[in-house]
């Protein structure tokens, strides 16, 4: 694809400049005072670290690294699979064969 074709297709995604001071308040910029006041009170600097940690960070990295989740998943799937297999088929063979 040509660059101009891509630019033309993506042109609708970028909003036009509608919040310029000249359009809002006749060029003086006084209409933006509440907006400037709001943004000036926001915290500055880098954001604090998120409290959310994924499964990988919680169990497989750091001082508490363990393979327990892997073994628990394997054993859990085996238990669920065997239970389903027993209920669907094996309990019919308990006292007599086919």
- Least-confidence region, from 21-25, 51-55, 85-89: 21-25
Q: Which two tokens stand for residue 11?
A: 């042109």
pTM of the model: 0.41
Average pLDDT estimate for 15-39: 64
Domain residue extents for the chain = 57-97
Residue 64 has pLDDT above 70, yes or no: yes
Pairwise pLDDT comparison (10 vs 29), residue with the higher score: 10
Pairwise pLDDT comparison (68 vs 1), residue with the higher score: 68
Average pLDDT estimate for 61-79: 90
Residues 89, 61: Cα–Cα separation, whole Å = 42
Mean pLDDT in the chain? Answer: 76
pLDDT level of residue 37 (50, 70, 90 thresholds): confident
């Amino acid at each position: 694809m040509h660059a101009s074709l891509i630019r033309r297709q993506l042109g609708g995604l970028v909003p036009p400049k509608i919040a310029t001071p000249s359009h809002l308040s006749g060029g003086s910029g006084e209409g933006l005072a509440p907006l400037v006041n709001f943004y000036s009170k926001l915290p500055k600097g880098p954001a604090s670290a998120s409290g959310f940690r994924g499964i990988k960070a919680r169990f497989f990295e750091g001082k508490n690294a363990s393979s327990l989740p892997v073994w628990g998943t394997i054993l859990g799937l085996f238990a669920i699979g065997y239970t389903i297999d027993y209920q669907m088929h094996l309990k019919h063979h308990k006292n007599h064969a086919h």
